[in-house]
Amino acid sequence: MQSPVAHDRIWIDKQTPEVFHALNSVALATREAATAAGLDRAVMELVNVRVSQLTGCPFCLDLHARAAREAGITAQQLDVLTAWKRSPYLFTEIEQAALQVAETVTALPDEESMQREYAAARQHLSDDQMSVLIWAATTIGAFNRVSILSKHPVRVRKEN
C-alpha cells in the first residue's frame, strides 16, 4: 500500500470556493470589529501567529509572521512568542491578554482552566475586545485547518 502524496490532497479553498469566501468574509468582519473595539493590527497579528504556532500551520505562520512585522511586532517578540508567558516585559497587558485568549480558544482546556484564563484576560479586555479576540482565534484556527488539510505549500522566497 502506497502512502498518499501531497498532490492527493484537495485544496478545499479551491474546490469549494463559496465556503472559503464566506470564511474570508468572517475574517474581514473580525478585522473591522477589532478596529472598532480598539484592538490594533499588531495585537491581531500576534493572535494569528500564536494560534498558527499552536496548530502547526506553516503556511499561516509564514503569512502572518510577515504581517506581524509589517504591523510593528518586533523580531524579538516573534522570536520569543512561544515563551510569551515567561517574557511579559516584551508584551503589553493587552497583548498578553489577547495571547491568553488565543491559547484558550485553540486548546479548549477543561472548564476550570478555561474559567481561570477567561477571568484573567477579562481584567484587561472590554466585552467587545474579548468577543473579537475569540472570533479572531476561531477564524485563524479555521484557516489553519484549511491550509493544513489542503497541504498548502510555503514557497521559498529571498529574504530582504
- CATH classification of 14-150 is 1.20.1290.10, yes or no? yes
Closest CA to 53 of 43, 63, 40: 63
Question: Do 121 and 130 touch, CB atoms closer than 8 A?
Answer: yes
pLDDT of 107 higher than 80: yes
Average pLDDT over residues 87-101: 96
* pLDDT digits 0-9 by tens, 108-140: 999 999 999 999 999 999 999 999 999 999 999
- The one-letter code for the residue type at 150 is S
* pLDDT one-digit tens code per residue, 28-77: 999 999 999 999 999 999 999 999 999 999 999 999 999 999 999 999 99
**What is the Cα–Cα distance from 96 to 154, expressed in whole angstroms?**
28
Amino acid at 148: I
Q: Give the closest residue to 105 by CA, choosing from 50, 24, 158.
A: 50
Is pTM, for the whole model, over 0.75?
yes
The helix/strand count (H/E) of the chain reads as: 8, 0
